[in-house]
Structure formats: structure tokens, C-alpha cells
Amino acid sequence: MPRRLLGAWLLSAAMGGVGLVEGILFSAQGRPLPAVLAIAVLGLIAWVVSPAAFPRSPSGRVVDEPAGAGGGIVVYWRPGCMYCLRLRWSLGRLARRATWVDIWADEDAAAFVRGVNDGNETVPTVVAENKVRTNPEVGWVRRALQEG
């Protein structure tokens, strides 16, 4: 597993571990409801901040053609990015229509994002309608997905 991807899972593992420890401590104190709540809430947060909350990324070869050409919407993201999470959840079911590319798992995608963001890996970077936008408004992405 690439070093960057391993780092992406560390936050998730830490949140899950804290939830488990708190659950055990509450349980040892004879407080089952807080124990279950701690495990459930922190487990949910661990899942949300993990790479598992996003669709699997295709290889960079799949999106080599000018991204967004032919009506396809491509969202470049990385695990742990709260802006990416906000976009993903704000789009709801429409998010499934986009191609989500994890820049930590795909070096070609990371190079593309650096190329359009002055050398920075700023995400989410969205390509739609032959336009590239970094941290775009949710409404713009939603319209592009509905039209595409």
C-alpha cells in the first residue's frame, strides 16, 4: 500500500480505536448506552473520513482523454479532505454519476491536479463542460451532473 494511502487510513483507524476504547471504558463503568453510542458514533465518523466513503477510483488511463469531454464529470479528491467530503455528501445520489479519482492512489491524477492548481494538490478539483474548477460550488457540479 502506498505510503500516502496508508496515511489516509490512519485517521479512520484512530477514530475507530478511540470509539472502541471509550465503549470499553463506558461498559466497564456499567453504562451500556453511552458505550454503544460511543462505538456507533465514532465508528460512523471513522467510516466517513476513510477512503471507503468514496467510490473506487479508476486508473488514470481511464480518464486520460480530456477529462470532462463527452459529458463525463471527473472529480479529483483525496482521503481526509473535508471539502471533498462536503461535496460528496452535498451531491447525494448524483455523486454516483461522476468519476471520482483519488489523487493519492493515482500519480497521473495527482500530476494533473498539480498542473491546473499552480503546483498544489488542491482538491476537490472538478472537470466538467471542458472547464476545470477547484473547490467549485455544489450547485455548479449538481447542474453539470444533471445535464450530463
Q: Over the stretch 7-50, which tens digit does the pLDDT of each residue have?
A: 667 777 888 888 889 999 999 999 999 889 988 888 887 877 77
69 pLDDT above the threshold of 50 = no
What sections of 1-101 are H helices per DSSP? Answer: 3-28, 32-48, 82-91
- pLDDT, residue 10, reads 77
120 pLDDT above the threshold of 50 = yes
Q: What is the CATH number of domain 55-147?
A: 3.40.30.10
- pLDDT, residue 59, reads 54
Average pLDDT value for the chain: 82
Domain ranges of the chain: 3-52, 55-147
